[in-house]
Structures are given as structure tokens and as C-alpha cells.
Amino acid sequence: MPIEGDDELRDILELDTVAVVGCSSTPGKDAHEIPKYLRDHGYEVIPVNPFADEIFGREAADSLADVDEEIDIVDVFRPSEEVPEIVDAALERDDVDTVWMQLGIRDDDAAKRAEDAGKRVVQDRCMKVEYGRLMG
């Protein structure tokens, strides 16, 4: 079951490094403003976007496989139909603790695969909202 309890969410929000798949270079878009908020609140944000060269003054990775740093959380800002592929990429990494799907994004089958592989999963929740509610 995807994580919904406040204690478990708080535990996830205490992690440090977030790879944001679908991070946008366009100010005003949620996929830009929410990662910016996370950066401003102490998270190491790694933008993952094959169509951007740089976001937040940092080189954007083309894929999760191209990220050299260790990743704690994969934060998904892509349509639900792309989640299975993103989960596959997350499962290829030993370092990913949690797959977090933003508001409106969910895939129960992919979530179960991630959980069966030992990953924590959050679906259809905003990291910014949960951070403000639980950590702010």
C-alpha cells in the first residue's frame, strides 16, 4: 500500500536528495516552482529533463540512469502513463528509497512493483504541501 500516514511521510521528508523527473525550466509551472521550494527548504534537487540543459543553475540529467549522485527520492512530474517506465528506471538503482508521484499522478501496478522491490511509494500527493503541513 502506498504510504499515507503522517509519521511515514515525515520520515520520507527527512531525506535529503530528490531527483525530479520532469523538472521544468519554466518559472510559474508547478514542475519548476515545487522543486524550487524544495531547494529553498534544504533539499538537494537534481533536475531530470532530457529537453533542458540547465535548471536552477545545475545541469539537468537526461534520465535517472544519468544521475551520478545518490538519490533518496524520485519525485515524478510526468503523466501517469509514464510512471511504469520511471519506476523501472528507479528500480535499476540501489540508492532510491522512495518513489513520490505528485498530485494527480498514480499507477497502482507500478507502485506495487516498486513496493515489492522494497521501495516506499507515495501517490497523488504534493511534496510541497506535505512538507508545509508536516515539517513547516
Mean per-residue pLDDT of the chain: 97
pLDDT digit string, tens, across residues 9-41 = 999 999 999 999 999 999 999 999 999 999 999
Alpha-carbon distance of 80 to 83, in angstroms, equals 5
Are the beta carbons of 74 and 96 closer than 8 angstroms? yes
What is the assigned CATH class of domain 6-134?
A: alpha beta
pTM above threshold 0.95: yes
C-alpha separations of 10 from 2, 13, 75 in Å: 14, 5, 15
β 98-101/58-59 pair status: unpaired
Q: How many CB atoms lie within 10 A of CB 65?
A: 10
